[in-house]
Amino acid sequence: MIIHSIVPMDVIFNNMEDCNGKPLEIEYMGEKIEVMPLSNNQYKISRLLSTSPKAYLNPLFQPGNIITGIDLEKNEKKIR
């Protein structure tokens, strides 16, 4: 991988180990998503795993979006 950026490499990769929590793969609204667990029964979407292009335009599946455990209980199906 080659980074072409005006930001120095050591700034970009600072705190590389600082990723807490293991990503979870769950099913949400009929699509498989990868989430990072946050505190308070909340999950932050880190990526969408779908082959449907339309799902990527759906704001619900945007990375960074936070979903709560309540949303998940309705669709809960932990894959990993």
Partner 1 sequence: MLREENKVTFGNMTPEKTETEEKKDQTRDLIELGNTSVSNPKGNIHCLTIIGQIEGHIVLPPQNKTTKYEHVIPQLVAIEEDNQIDGLLLVLNTVGGDVEAGLAIAEMIASMSKPTVSLILGGGHSIGVPMAVSTKYSFIAPSATMTIHPIRLTGLVIGVPQTYEYFDKMQERVVQFVSRNSNISVEKFRSLMLKTGELANDVGTVLFGEEAVNCGIIDAVGGLREALAKLYELINESKKPNA
Q: List residues binding partner 1 (CB under 8 A).
A: 1-10, 12-16, 18-19, 29-31, 47-48, 50, 53-60, 62-65, 75
**C-beta neighbour count of 71 within 10 angstroms:** 15
**C-beta closer to partner 1: residue 20 or 40:** 20
Q: How far is the CB of 63 from partner 1 (least distance, A)?
A: 6
Q: How far is the CB of 10 from partner 1 (least distance, A)?
A: 8
Cα torsion through 47, 50, 53, 54, rounded to 10: -90
Q: How far is the CB of 36 from partner 1 (least distance, A)?
A: 9
**C-beta closer to partner 1: residue 16 or 80:** 16
CA–CA separation, 5 and 80 (whole Å)? 35
Half-sphere exposure (Cβ direction) of 54: Cα atoms closer than 13 Å: 1
